[in-house]
């Protein structure tokens, strides 16, 4: 950890403030994510976890009022959502959106080819794409039938989440932000999704997991755990922090004066 | 930290791609309308006496009629004496005997529009009749169809070669007394397509007419008549475009379909007349009367329409379900963007026993577009066991557009079942964000979402035109959600 020259961080968020309808939700977020790392973000309901994920993914309904974020050294906030996805920052949605009449496979193919075009690769034709998707679907144990249904329409909660992981596997992002991909999954499905997430891990990639449960973190071991409360990271630690939260809840942190626990402290441990 | 706001309404504003004008010499009658103009048109077309009589009767009826007014249309008054009722590309002598004799400028026009009349191989499987302003300029595959007894070509030609068929069927579905625009059309219509499929014949290819308004200040009044005799089948498609002009142009067409026993007519329209500019200036007034008559038992008529053009669209393709067990279908996508207005829908009139009708209507409104669905399901006393089902969905893009649904239901037979469902939704910012976060451009995302919304209708179109229609929806919407 104490190399002389650290590689450029994948994501660097500094003093990020964001609000919606004049209401401030993120109140100074600092976060650095390096390639190869897995970060877990935990925190009470309404603390701003999804807001952070969406602001990083480019949702325009939130306005960034102060601070900034860099992705691979570029100004992240000046990129449109599709540019972020093509550059390799992809969000797995807490609530995947239904698109009636558009078949899942159509959306997936359009997405894969949009990203490939951006990377200077040839677009996949129908046959090539089918081959690719079959391979990836095994990973999340998704039945074929879900490919031909409308995007997320009538999917069960668990099917929606698998579909999000399938998209990650297809798009191969450099930074995957997974917002509660573990919520609403049965015990077996949780394991399948966890394996899917582990398959995404790699030296060039990083994952940010927003989660409420230690359970997922038992399968996908995080390098860092951060606690978000009232729009700030109030504590950061290693994977043992998640266990401590499971025992003690969030009360002890929220009451503490909001001394922003710097990531650097966590790293220094 | 301002982000580049790619709002949906910045995505529209793409120029109408078919807005060019073709320079051809034209043969034009003086503006305005009286009996002399009608006589002149009839003489130019060398029509038999019964046609002239019919036109004059229509004209006299029209003079007594009042122009209709609609609650949901914003319309500039039309001066019917300021319109040119006949304009045709000038011909040397007789008129073209084959496509090789057609003015190359005209062929080029259709080429540009993607309807190459000359390179037949590129339109394999589709026979095309092309109507330029007031007259038909050429029909492909005519000889091949004739071998099977199929008559397909311009209306004028049918009047000359098959006067008995024309006389028997003309006005038998839409009489000139039907409405103001139908009467005007009957008086002045100049050309259109005619099609007759003999008993038991399945037309082996799609028949298609491509309508083009070119001349300035002219109205286009075409008339289409399709007859499917007992057990016959035909699939027919019409496409339309017009140059961009600042003045509104009037298009008042009439389409009559007759299906005899066990016959099936499938009529598809992709309408992309010039819609006017972003401020609502110019564009075509599209007032069309389309009606099908399921005259025989077990006959079937299906209307499928994709309406993306015109400043104002006013049309209600309808079916008279007269034969027992007859089936009427109406599948419609109407898209209005900028200042376009559409008032469209259908009328299904159940007369025979066990007649069935299905209505699927998808309205999309963007910009300041106003989209009205107006439909009638009517079951007459004798229509024992009739069933009608309609489904009308509206999709709004942005918050300055509007959707209105007026279903009218009249049931006079207690054994009938009539159902109506309606929904209105707004294209979600969340749907858009979801697609974009998968790397898909906002334009492609909007077009994907809208096409998904219209899927149940688009799947009714013949394959090659479904692809066209999908592209058209994408283009018509570029820059449109808020
Ligand atoms: N569009 C919006 N308009 C108004 N308030 C919003 C909006 N989006 C989020 N908020 C508010 O911002 C706060 C943070 O929401 P966010 O969804 O980020 O929480 P979260 O940490 O993800 O919660 P959960 O664990 O329940 O998913 C909440 O109080 C929420 O009500
Ligand atoms: Mg959340």
Q: How far is CA A158 from the centre of its chain?
A: 17
Indicate the range of B127-136, B341-350, B391-400, B472-481 predicted with least confidence. Answer: B127-136
Among all chains, which residue has been given the structure tokens 């394959």? B463
**CA-proximal residue: ligand 1, atom 19 (nearest):** A46
Q: What is the pLDDT of residue B100?
A: 58
Instruction: Identify the band that residue B88 occupies on the pLDDT scale cut at 50, 70 and 90.
Output: low
Instruction: Identify the band that residue B239 occupies on the pLDDT scale cut at 50, 70 and 90.
Output: confident
Q: What is the mean pLDDT of residues B288-300?
A: 95
Instruction: Identify the band that residue B440 occupies on the pLDDT scale cut at 50, 70 and 90.
Output: very high
CA of A226 to the centre of ligand 2 (A): 15
Chain A residue with Cα closest to B444: A110
CA of A46 to the centre of ligand 2 (A): 7
CA of A49 to the centre of ligand 2 (A): 5
Q: What is the mean pLDDT of residues A171-180?
A: 94
Q: CB B455 to CB A81 under 8 A?
A: no
Residue B313, CB half-sphere, CA atoms under 13 Å: how many? 37
Q: Is A167 in the pocket of ligand 1 (CB under 6 A)?
A: no
Q: Is B389 exposed, middle or buried (0-12, 13-18, 19+ CB in 10 A)?
A: middle
Instruction: Identify the band that residue B452 occupies on the pLDDT scale cut at 50, 70 and 90.
Output: confident
Classified as helix, coil or strand, A241 is helix
Q: What is the pLDDT of residue B43?
A: 87
For residue range B340-364, what is the model confidence (pLDDT) as tens digits? 777 778 999 999 999 999 999 988 8
Instruction: Identify the band that residue B14 occupies on the pLDDT scale cut at 50, 70 and 90.
Output: very low
Share of chain A above pLDDT 90, in %: 57
Q: What is the pLDDT of residue B154?
A: 83
Among all chains, which residue has been given the structure tokens 């079937």? B300
Q: CB B5 to CB A96 under 8 A?
A: no
Q: What is the pLDDT of residue B22?
A: 56
Q: What is the mean pLDDT of residues A119-134?
A: 90
Q: Are B323 and B298 in contact (CB under 8 A)?
A: yes
B179 or B107, which is more confident: B179
Q: What is the pLDDT of residue B373?
A: 84
Q: What is the pLDDT of residue B89?
A: 58
Indicate the range of B46-60, B104-118, B146-160, B309-323 predicted with least confidence. Answer: B104-118
Q: What is the mean pLDDT of residues B181-187?
A: 92
Nearest ligand to the CA atom of A93: 2
Q: What is the mean pLDDT of residues B165-180?
A: 93
Q: Would an 8 Å CB–CB cutoff place B442 in contact with chain A? A: yes
**CA-proximal residue: ligand 1, atom 4 (nearest):** A20
Q: Which helix (H) or strand (E) holds A54?
A: helix A49-57
Among the atoms of ligand 1, which is closest to the Cα of residue A212?
Answer: 25
Query: Mean pLDDT for chain B?
Result: 79
Asked if pLDDT for residue B319 goes beyond 90, the answer is yes
Asked if pLDDT for residue B127 goes beyond 70, the answer is no
Q: What is the pLDDT of residue B3?
A: 32
Q: Is A20 in the pocket of ligand 1 (CB under 6 A)?
A: yes
Q: Is A46 in the pocket of ligand 1 (CB under 6 A)?
A: yes
> What's the CA gap between A54 and A77, in Å, rounded?
12
Asked if pLDDT for residue A91 goes beyond 60, the answer is yes
Q: Where are the beta strands (DSSP E) in A11-76?
A: 11-20, 23-33, 38-42, 63-71, 74-75
Instruction: Identify the band that residue B2 occupies on the pLDDT scale cut at 50, 70 and 90.
Output: very low
* ipTM here: 0.91
Backbone angles phi, psi at B470, to 5 degrees: -60, -45
Asked if pLDDT for residue B106 goes beyond 90, the answer is no
Asked if pLDDT for residue A5 goes beyond 90, the answer is no
Q: What is the pLDDT of residue A246?
A: 82
Nearest ligand to the CA atom of A49: 1
Nearest ligand to the CA atom of A212: 1
Q: CB A97 to CB B440 under 8 A?
A: no
Q: What is the pLDDT of residue A114?
A: 94
Sequence-separated contacts (24+) of A146-149 with Cβ below 8 Å: A146/A104, A147/A103, A147/A104, A147/A105, A147/A108, A148/A103, A148/A104, A148/A105, A149/A103, A149/A104
pTM: 0.76
Instruction: Identify the band that residue B1 occupies on the pLDDT scale cut at 50, 70 and 90.
Output: very low
A:B CB pairs within 8 Å: 100
Q: Are A19 and A46 in contact (CB under 8 A)?
A: no
Which residues of chain A are within 8 Å of residue B362 when distances are taken between CB atoms?
none
Q: What is the pLDDT of residue B476?
A: 66
> What's the CA gap between A160 and A178, in Å, rounded?
13
Query: Mean pLDDT for chain A?
Result: 88
């Amino acid at each position: 950890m104490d190399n002389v020259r650290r590689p450029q961080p994948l994501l660097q968020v500094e003093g990020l403030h964001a609000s919606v309808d004049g209401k401030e939700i993120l109140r100074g977020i600092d976060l650095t994510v390096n390639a190869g790392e897995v970060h877990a973000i935990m925190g009470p309901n309404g603390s701003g976890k999804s807001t952070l994920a969406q602001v990083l993914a480019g949702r325009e309904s939130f306005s960034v009022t102060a601070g900034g974020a860099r992705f691979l050294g570029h100004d992240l906030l000046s990129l449109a959502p599709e540019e972020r996805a093509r550059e390799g920052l992809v969000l797995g949605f807490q609530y995947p959106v239904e698109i009636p009449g558009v078949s899942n496979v159509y959306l997936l193919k359009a997405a894969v080819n949009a990203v490939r075009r951006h990377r200077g690769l040839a677009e996949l034709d129908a046959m090539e794409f089918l081959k690719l998707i079959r391979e990836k679907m095994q990973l999340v144990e998704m039945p074929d039938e879900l490919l031909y249904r409308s995007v997320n329409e009538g999917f069960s909660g668990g099917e929606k989440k698998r579909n999000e992981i399938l998209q990650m596997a297809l798009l191969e992002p450099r930074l995957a932000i997974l917002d509660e991909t573990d919520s609403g999954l049965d015990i077996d499905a949780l394991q399948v999704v966890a394996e899917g997430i582990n398959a995404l891990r790699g030296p060039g990639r990083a994952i940010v997991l927003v989660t409420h449960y230690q359970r997922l973190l038992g399968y996908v071991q995080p390098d860092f755990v951060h606690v978000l409360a009232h729009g700030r990271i109030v504590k950061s630690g290693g994977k043992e922090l998640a266990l401590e939260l499971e025992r003690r809840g969030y009360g002890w942190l929220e009451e503490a004066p909001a001394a922003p626990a710097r990531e650097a402290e966590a790293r220094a441990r | 930290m301002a982000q580049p706001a790619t709002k949906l309404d910045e995505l529209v504003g793409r120029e109408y791609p078919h807005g060019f004008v073709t320079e051809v010499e034209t043969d034009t009658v003086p503006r305005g309308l009286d009996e002399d103009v009608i006589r002149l048109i009839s003489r130019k077309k060398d029509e038999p006496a019964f046609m002239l009589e019919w036109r004059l009767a229509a004209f006299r009826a029209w003079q007594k009629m009042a122009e209709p007014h609609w609650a949901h249309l914003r319309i500039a008054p039309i001066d019917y004496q300021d319109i040119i009722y006949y304009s045709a590309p000038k011909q040397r002598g007789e008129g073209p005997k084959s496509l090789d004799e057609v003015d190359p400028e005209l062929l080029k026009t259709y080429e540009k529009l993607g309807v190459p009349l000359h390179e037949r191989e590129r339109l394999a499987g589709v026979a095309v009749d092309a109507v330029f302003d007031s007259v038909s300029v050429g029909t492909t595959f005519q000889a091949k169809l004739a071998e099977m007894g199929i008559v397909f070509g311009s209306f004028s030609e049918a009047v000359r070669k098959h006067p008995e068929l024309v006389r028997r069927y003309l006005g038998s579905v839409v009489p000139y007394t039907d409405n103001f625009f139908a009467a005007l059309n009957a008086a002045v219509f100049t050309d259109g397509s005619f099609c007759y499929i003999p008993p038991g014949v399945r037309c082996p290819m799609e028949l298609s007419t491509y309508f083009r308004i070119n001349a300035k200040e002219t109205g286009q009044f075409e008339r289409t008549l399709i007859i499917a005799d007992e057990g016959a089948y035909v699939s027919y498609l019409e496409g339309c475009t017009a140059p961009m002009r600042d003045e509104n142009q009037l298009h008042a067409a009439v389409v009559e379909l007759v299906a005899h026993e066990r016959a099936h007519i499938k009529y598809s329209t992709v309408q992309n007349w010039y819609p006017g500019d972003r401020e609502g200036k110019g564009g075509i007034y599209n007032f069309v009367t389309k009606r099908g008559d399921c005259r025989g038992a077990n006959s079937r008529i299906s209307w499928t329409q994709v309406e993306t053009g015109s400043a104002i669209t006013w049309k209600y393709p309808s079916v008279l379900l007269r034969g027992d067990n007859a089936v009427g279908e109406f599948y419609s996508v109407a898209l209005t963007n900028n200042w376009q207005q559409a008032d469209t829908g259908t009328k299904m009139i159940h007369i025979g026993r066990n007649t069935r009708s299905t209505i699927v209507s998808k309205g999309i409104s963007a910009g300041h577009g106003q989209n009205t669905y107006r439909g009638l399901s009517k079951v007459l006393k004798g229509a024992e066991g009739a069933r009608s089902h309609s489904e009308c969905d509206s999709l709004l893009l942005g918050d300055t557009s509007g959707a209105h649904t007026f279903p009218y239901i009249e049931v006079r037979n207690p054994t009938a079942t009539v159902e109506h469902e309606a929904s209105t939704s707004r294209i979600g910012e969340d749907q858009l964000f979801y697609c974009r976060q998968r790397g898909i451009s906002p334009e492609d995302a909007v077009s994907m979402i809208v096409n998904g919304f219209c899927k149940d209708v688009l799947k009714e179109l013949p394959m090659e035109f479904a692809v066209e229609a999908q592209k058209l929806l994408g283009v018509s919407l570029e820059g449109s959600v808020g």
